[in-house]
Structure 1
Amino acid sequence: MSTITDHAKIEKVGTRPTGRIAAYWTVTIILAISITLSGIGQLLRYGGNVDLVTHIGFPLYVTNILGAWKLLGVIAIVMPGFPRLKEWAYSGIFFLMTGAALSHIFAHDYGAGGFNVLLPLFYAALGIASWALRPKSRKL
C-alpha cells in the first residue's frame, strides 16, 4: 500500500504545470507586445493607422480611444492581482479585435491577403489562449 502512496506523490510532483505556465507566459507576452505596439501606433497615428481607421468610415479621434483602451488592457492582463479586472480586459481585447475584423469585413477593406481581417482575429485568438492558459492565481 505504501508503494502506491509513494507513487501517487511522485506523480503529483512530476506533473507540475510548468509547461502550461510557460505556454501562458509565451502567449501572453506575444499578445501584450502586439497589442501595446498597436495601441501606441494608434495613439501616435503612426504608419497606416490613419488609413485603416478612416478608410472604413470611422472618425480619426477613435484612434485615441482604441489606443488608450489597448494599453490599459495590456496593463490589466500583465500586472499581478485584480482577477476581475483581468476578465474585463480579456473580454475587451476579444471584442475590440473581433470588432475590428468585422468592421473591415463590412467595409470590404480586407487588405492584402486579408491582413486587415486576419491580424485582429489572430490577436483575438491569442487573447483566448492567454485567458484559457492563465494560472489559478490569475483567475476569479
Structure 2
Amino acid sequence: MSTMIGNDKTMKVGSRSMGRTAAFWTVTLILGFSIALSGIGQLMRYGGNVDLVTEIGFPLYITTILGVWKLLGVIAIVMPGFPRLKEWAYSGLFFLMTGAALSHAFANDYGDGGFHVILPLFYAALGIASWALRPKNRRL
C-alpha cells in the first residue's frame, strides 16, 4: 500500500511538472510570436508602426532600434541555454513594454479603448508569466 501511495505522489508531481511546462511554452510562444511580429512590423515600418511612434514625439529611427531589440529578446528567451541572457531579455522586454505603455499614456495617446496602453501591459504580463513558469534548466 505504501508503494502505491509513493507512485501516486510521483505521478502527481510529474503531471504538475508537465502542466507547468505546457503552460510555460504556451505563454512563451504567444509572447514570442506577438513580440516578433511587432518587431518585424517596426523594422519594415509596416502599417501603423510609423504613426505609433511619430505621433507621440519619437523619431522614426526608433522603430529600427525597437524592432531589433524585440527580435533579439525573443530569440534569447526561446533558444535553449544561456540563462543569464534570458534574465536580461525578460527584463528588457518588461522595460520595453511598460515604457511603451507609459509613453502613450504620458502623450495622451490611449488609442481605441486604451489599446495603446493595455496591449503593451498585456505583453509585459505575459513576460512575467513566462519568466515565473520557466523550467529549472532555464533559470540561473
Tell me the TM-score normalized by structure 1.
Answer: 0.95
Offset at 1:51? Answer: 0.3
- Give the letter for the 1:119 counterpart: L
Q: Which residue of 1 aligns with 2:110?
A: 110
2:13 matched residue in structure 1: 15
Residue 74 in 1 paired to residue 74 in 2?
yes
Aligned residues: 138
Taking the TM superposition and a 5 Å limit, the aligned residue runs for 1:53-132 are 53-132=53-132
Query: 2:35 corresponds to which residue?
Result: 35
Shift of 1:18: 0.7
Structure 1 residue 6 displacement after superposition: 4.5
Q: Which ranges of structure 1 fall in alignment gaps of 5 or more residues?
A: none
Which residue pairs with 1:4 in the alignment?
A: 2
Q: CA deviation at 1:9?
A: 3.8
Whichever residue aligns with residue 13 of structure 2, its letter is T
Alpha-carbon distance in structure 2 between the residues aligned to 1:14 and 1:97: 36
Could you tell me how far apart the structure 1 residues matched to 2:122 and 2:36 are?
Answer: 15
Counterpart-to-counterpart distance in 1, 2:19 and 2:5? 21
Fraction of identical pairs, as percent:
75
Q: Name stretches of at least 5 consecutive residues in structure 2 with no aligned partner.
A: none
Runs of 4 or more consecutive aligned structure 1 residues displaced over 4 Å after TM superposition: none
Q: Calculate the TM-score normalised by the size of structure 2.
A: 0.95
Deviations along 1:42-97, whole A, 9 cap, x unmatched?
00000000000001100000000000000000000000000000000000000000
Instruction: State the alpha-carbon separation in 1 of the partners of residues 18 and 95 from structure 2.
Output: 30
Offset at residue 4 of structure 1 (A):
2.9
**After superposition, where does 1:43-58 map in structure 2 within 5 Å?**
43-58=43-58
| Secondary structure at 2:32 match in 1 | helix
1:5 Cα shift?
5.0
Look up the equivalent residue of 1:13 and give its one-letter code.
Answer: M
Partners of 1:101 and 1:94 lie apart in 2 by: 11
SS of 2:81 mapped into structure 1 = coil
Deviation, structure 1 residue 14: 3.0
